[in-house]
Amino acid sequence: MFVRVYVCKICGEAYIGAEKPSRCPFCGAYDKHLIDSKEYDDTGDWDVELNETDKANVEKALTVEISNALFYKCAAKKVKELDGQKLFKILAKVEAEHASVWKKILKLKKIDWNPPESCVDDYKADLEDSHMREERAIKFYGEAAAAAGSQRVKEIFKAFLEVETDHLKLSEVRLK
């Protein structure tokens, strides 16, 4: 079986596989954003001119993703249920990757991962918190995408809106 290298146009990360995955294994973007590495050209992907609105929204998005990543990391360590540990661990990784994308757009050298977020050791309570966080992110990302002046920023907000919607569904199913 022949393997190929696919690159995510949203986060810029590469994946090796025989087939294109349904989602980016790093940022969760849908497969429509994954292309063969031979077709990938990142010229301009990270050198984005931001107007005041885009800059403010990207800075807010970075804050949201850092907060959510830290919350999920906390919850992954505290909940007793294995499903919760695995769910929160992968959500922490995806949210951290989202923060990394915003860091690149803002041309920051590093992310300040402080202050830590609090969580509890109750799986259901953390799921409810997760649900509220994802609802807020979805609402904000939709508004930010609509207001975006930069096509690249709009593309990222829309892609992350889809991913956050999937995250919301994960908590909805578990809360039933």
Number of structural domains found in the chain: 2
- What is the average per-residue pLDDT within 37-42? 92
* pLDDT class of 1 with cuts at 50, 70, 90: confident
Q: Cα–Cα distances in Å, from 117 out to 67, 144, 152?
A: 6, 24, 30
Q: Which of the 8 DSSP states describes residue 46?
A: S
Average pLDDT, the chain: 96
Contacts of 9 by beta carbon, 8 Å cutoff, 6+ apart: 29, 33, 34, 35, 40, 45, 155
Task: Find out whether the peptide bond into 115 is cis, omega within 30 degrees of 0.
Answer: yes
In order of 15, 95, 112, the CA distances from 164 in angstroms are 21, 9, 22
**Residue matched to tokens 């915003």:** 102
Domain match, 113 and 145 both: yes
Task: Output the domain CATH number for residue 136.
Answer: 1.20.1260.10
Residues 57 and 19 in one domain: no
Question: Rg (Cα) of the chain, in Å, rounded?
Answer: 16
Same domain, residue pair 60 and 24: no
Domain coverage including residue 145: 52-175
pLDDT tens per residue, range 117-164: 999 999 999 999 999 999 999 999 999 999 999 999 999 999 999 999
pLDDT tens digits for range 64-99: 999 999 999 999 999 999 999 999 999 999 999 999
Q: What percent of the chain has pLDDT over 90?
A: 93
Residues 79 and 144 placed together within one structural domain of the fold: yes
| Closest by Cα among 130, 112, 28 to 76 | 130
Q: Using 50, 70 and 90 to split pLDDT, how confident is the model at 116?
A: confident
The answer to whether residues 159 and 30 touch, using CB atoms and an 8 Å cutoff, is yes
Compute the distance between CA of residue 37 and CA of residue 48 in angstroms, rounded to an integer: 21
- Do both 98 and 65 map to the same domain? yes
